[in-house]
Amino acid sequence: MIHGIDHTAISVPSLERALDFYGNLFGFEVEFNAGWPQGSQPLDDLVGLRDSESKVAMIRLGDTKIEVFEYQSPEPQLQNPERPVNDHGITHICLRVSGLQQEYERLRDAGVSFNSEPVDLGTSLCVYGRDPFGNTFELIEDIEPAT
């Protein structure tokens, strides 16, 4: 069962500048600040990229969360900073679910395209897919960490 949007995500050329902007101007607080090096196959599978490397932070304001990525690899394509709203910019929306495996199978069986099988990240199960227009979404389910 899908419960709603968990977070949105953006890709930026400077994580530090983005955190400064959203933190100082809007009051977002950093929930976590992390990243991954090239060679992390589960994350390559999840995001659908080869040899990916990124810094990432999750910021929160009340119930609103934004995941901010600064990819080092593959090299991001520059976009017009004044692009109209009909051009691409947001990287994905994330939907919080229960029964992620069942939702994944239901959607896959309905013809939805996914980058990979669900990926266990320790405290959550995640999978990225695409809507009919090529927009990326993520399904996420919190799980108990393995002991």
Q: Where are the domains of the chain?
A: 2-142
If you compute the radius of gyration of the chain from its CA atoms, what whole number of angstroms results? Answer: 15
Q: Which residues of the chain have pLDDT under 70?
A: 79-85, 88-90, 133, 147
Specify whether the CB–CB gap between 35 and 55 falls below 8 A: yes
Q: What is the pLDDT of residue 82?
A: 65
Give me 3's structure tokens: 């419960």
CATH 3.10.180.10 is the classification of domain 2-142: yes
Q: What's the confidence (pLDDT) of residue 77?
A: 84
Q: What is the pLDDT of residues 58-67, one digit of tens each?
A: 999 999 999 9
User: Using omega within 30 degrees of 0 as the cis cutoff, is the peptide bond preceding 74 cis?
Assistant: yes
* pTM reported for the whole predicted model: 0.73
Q: Provide CB contacts within 8 A for 140, sequence distance 6+.
A: 6, 94, 95, 96, 97, 100, 124, 125, 126
| C-alpha to C-alpha distance for 110 and 132, rounded to whole angstroms | 12
Predicted pLDDT at 136: 84
Which tokens hold the place of 30?
A: 């950093």
**Token pair of 58, please?**
């999750």
